[in-house]
Amino acid sequence: MDYTPVLQQIEHELKPVIGQGRVASYIPELAKVSPHHFGMAVVAIDGSLHTVGDAHVPFSIQSISKLFTLVMALQLEGERVWDRVGREPSGTPFNSLIQLEAESGKPRNPFINPGALVCTDILCTRYAVPENAVVEFLRPLSGNKAMHYNRAVAASERRTSHRNAAMAHLMKAFGNLANDVDEVLDAYCRHCAIEMSCVELAHAARFLVHGGTHPGDHAAILGTSLAKRINALMLTCGTYDAAGDFAFRVGLPAKSGVGGGILAVMPGQYAVCVWSPALEPSGNSLAGSLALERFTTLTGQSIF
């Protein structure tokens, strides 16, 4: 299917709403990003690329990195990851302390901040510089050998990471964090500050379209069963506490980030990424969510 005309129609339809919403101003460096960007990229399972707008412009992937740190944690620990992180939707904001306290320091899922901190802790145990390990994991998947994290964004996020620090210390008190809290927070803020474009993110997710194997070089990233389970977690937990509504409207497994990106997959068909920095209250891109809803409506392709 030629997705390019569909993307062009979506961009045209959404012009009145692009820029509506608010950028993630609680991270000072992200507050500087124009809310009027819009880009979208689809990479089909055969490798064909379809783009519109700012699809090649790098942006801060933020919580989309949680998808890849989970994959790396599963590569290292396998099913033991679930001893420390749950698999249920949170129903609360991604940085909630109340739920974490009530449930004895075990995060509901790996896509909210405390769950991602546990996955980062696993990487800190294995790698001397875990944030660089995440970058090295993503470079061949994305096709960008020069990709890295933005030091200014990472430093800005680290300076304002008081709630993340509170969650990390709480989990440490419950025995669910093995490494030094500051070390984990440093690595977490840096992998959230990785910069990628829609095109690069869509390429990087192709292994989830292809049953855990990268269709380009046939490298086995995950087993088929784990790839299926990650897609299920993306559907139920990947878009913060709006996951149910997102599944209802869009019908694709997805992971969003407060940088304005949303990465989604249609198993067996394509990976799609959209970027528009202005967010709706749950932390998902306002125009990006609408774009993906229109995409599955116009193509008639979703998992349902």
253 within a domain of the structure (yes/no)? yes
pLDDT, residue 241, reads 87
Q: Please give the biggest Cα pair distance in the chain.
A: 53
Q: Among 176, 192, 208, which residue terminates a domain?
A: 192
Regarding whether 24 and 44 lie in a shared domain, the answer is yes
Residues with catalytic roles: 63, 66, 188, 240, 258
* CATH code of residue 87: 3.40.710.10
Regarding whether 187 and 77 lie in a shared domain, the answer is yes
Structure tokens at 50: 């379809």
- Which is nearest to 190 in space by CA: 73, 59, 60? 60
- Which is nearest to 231 in space by CA: 214, 207, 198? 207
Regarding whether 144 and 56 lie in a shared domain, the answer is no
Name the stretches of the chain with pLDDT < 50: none
Regarding whether 201 and 55 lie in a shared domain, the answer is yes
Regarding whether 188 and 67 lie in a shared domain, the answer is yes
pLDDT, residue 62, reads 97
Cα torsion through 275, 277, 283, 289, rounded to 10: -40
Q: Among 163, 192, 221, which residue terminates a domain?
A: 192
pLDDT, residue 261, reads 98
Q: How far is CA 241 from CA 109, 171, 172, 236, in A?
A: 12, 21, 25, 9
Regarding whether 54 and 11 lie in a shared domain, the answer is yes
Regarding whether 239 and 138 lie in a shared domain, the answer is no
For residues 178 and 279, give the distance between their C-alpha atoms in angstroms, rounded to a whole number.
34
CB 278 within 8 A of CB 262: no
pLDDT, residue 90, reads 82
Rounded to 10°, the helix 130-142/113-126 angle is 100
For residues 7 and 149, give the distance between their C-alpha atoms in angstroms, rounded to a whole number.
28
Regarding whether 203 and 56 lie in a shared domain, the answer is yes
304 within a domain of the structure (yes/no)? no
Regarding whether 224 and 274 lie in a shared domain, the answer is yes
Tens digit of pLDDT for each residue in 239-272? 998 999 999 999 999 999 999 999 999 999 999 9
Q: Range of 275's domain?
A: 4-60+196-299
Specify the number of domains making up the chain: 2
Regarding whether 165 and 146 lie in a shared domain, the answer is yes
SS3 275: strand
Regarding whether 229 and 275 lie in a shared domain, the answer is yes
pLDDT, residue 256, reads 98
236 within a domain of the structure (yes/no)? yes
Q: Among 192, 213, 244, which residue terminates a domain?
A: 192
